[in-house]
Amino acid sequence: MIDVEVADPAWTAALPDAEILARAAAAAALDEFFGFDEDPGVAVLLADDAALAELNGRFRGKPQPTNVLSFPAAPNPEDHLGDVALACGVCTREAREQGKPLAAHLQHLVAHGVLHLLGYDHMDDAEAERMEGLERVILAGLGVADPYAAEQGDHG
């Protein structure tokens, strides 16, 4: 099950279908790996910059907002993989700076966050190349252009 909570109304003001787009991106990332009807659980929080700054400070020691954070869950009987949180202000600014639609950036970052929950990372060039390749496949399935074709922001 994929739960999406829109905690910052700026998300739906800027992107009325933000919840639907986030759910579709999470499902596409999960389906790429599990390919069955009952995906593991993921929660997506569409929050404001202040919430992400607080989470980033508490869990990563970096008290400033970032675009996306992923929090893998400990093994559990509900098969919940973890949580992904996005900051509206940061994501909106990045989309504008990168010349891409906010909808595409949202779906990219949700897929990116879910890949982190699945154990993927981008700490070195080989890992980054593998993760970016998976993101391209997932996003192509959603009809989203290659996010790495233009200058990109931080994928924290």
In a domain, 153, yes or no: no
Question: Token pair 């992400």 is at which residue?
Answer: 52
In a domain, 64, yes or no: yes
In a domain, 102, yes or no: yes
What is the chain's mean pLDDT, rounded?
92
**116 phi and psi, to 5 degrees?**
-60, -40
Q: Are 38 and 78 in contact (CB under 8 A)?
A: no
pTM over 0.75: yes
Looking up residue 116, the CATH number of its domain turns out to be: 3.40.390.30
Quickly state the pLDDT bin for 32 (edges 50, 70, 90): confident
pLDDT digits 0-9 by tens, 100-119? 999 999 999 999 999 999 99
In a domain, 47, yes or no: yes
Q: For residue 48, is pLDDT > 80?
A: yes
Average pLDDT over residues 21-37: 86
In a domain, 29, yes or no: yes
- Residue 37 burial class via C-beta count within 10 angstroms: exposed 0-12, middle 13-18, buried 19 and up: exposed
Number of domains in the chain: 1
Q: Are 101 and 95 in contact (CB under 8 A)?
A: yes
Domain interval for residue 50: 2-141
